[in-house]
Amino acid sequence: MDNDIQEVLFDQTSIHDAAVRLGKQITQDYAGERPVVLSVLKGAYLWTADLLREVDLYVDLEFINVSSYHGGVKSTDEITLVTDIGSDIKGRHVLILEDIVDTGQSLLFMKELLAKRGAKSISVATLLDKKEGRKVDITADYVGFDVRNEFVVGYGLDYKEMYRNLPYVGILKKEVYSD
């Protein structure tokens, strides 16, 4: 897989440091609360595992799967709910864990869904923030790293379901997806 990567942006050590930094902040900000941590499948699976181990709180862990990419390298405007949350979040503080916020459309979709269901508060902790890609006005509350407008893979992020198990985040070589 390493041969398909043009440049490593965030290695295991820097991702771990980001998890420690954000984990401390989340632990402080939610002191005394028991939030629902909502991990967005599949991309946030490693980020969820690493970040949550740095959070010293009682939490409920839930998963949601929304799809916007449909296998390509560009977001589509149509968001679909693939797998719904397993419990009622009415009256709960919800912390969404995302791998990356790009156009912001999937995040907006989830925030609207949670608000409609009566969440008490909704915050977002994303590993990566691709601010240049934004199409809707939305910001993440906790950001691991800002990332430039390139297609990246690894550490959960995929291209056609590949590279999710790469231990770092890197830019995928153009020739891998442009042929």
The answer to whether 35 contacts Mg ion (rule: CB under 5 A) is no
48 vs 103 by CB, closer to ligand IMP:
103
Element (H or E) spanning 153, and its range? strand 152-153
The contact set with ligand IMP (CB under 6 A) reads 40, 43, 68-69, 75, 98-107, 130, 151-153, 157
Torsion of CA 164, 147, 49, 138, to 10 degrees: -110
CB of 56 to ligand IMP, least distance (A): 26
The full DSSP string for 56-93 is -S--EEEEEEEE--TTSSS--S--EEEE--SS--TT-E
50 vs 98 by CB, closer to ligand IMP:
98
Task: Please choose which of ligand IMP, Mg ion, none residue 19 contacts, taking the beta carbon within 5 to 8 angstroms, the exact cut-off set by kind.
Answer: none
> Please, where are the H alpha helices in the chain?
12-29, 45-52, 105-116, 174-177
Any residues with CB less than 8 A from the CB of 152 and at least 6 apart, and which? 9, 100, 128, 169, 170, 171, 172
Active-site residue, 137 included: no
Rounded Cα gap, residues 140 and 129, in angstroms: 8
The answer to whether 43 contacts Mg ion (rule: CB under 5 A) is yes
The answer to whether 156 contacts Mg ion (rule: CB under 5 A) is no
57 vs 172 by CB, closer to ligand IMP:
172
57 vs 111 by CB, closer to ligand IMP:
111
The catalytic residue among 102, 129, 141, 158 is 102
- Binding site residues, Mg ion, CB under 5 A: 43
Residues with a known catalytic role = 102
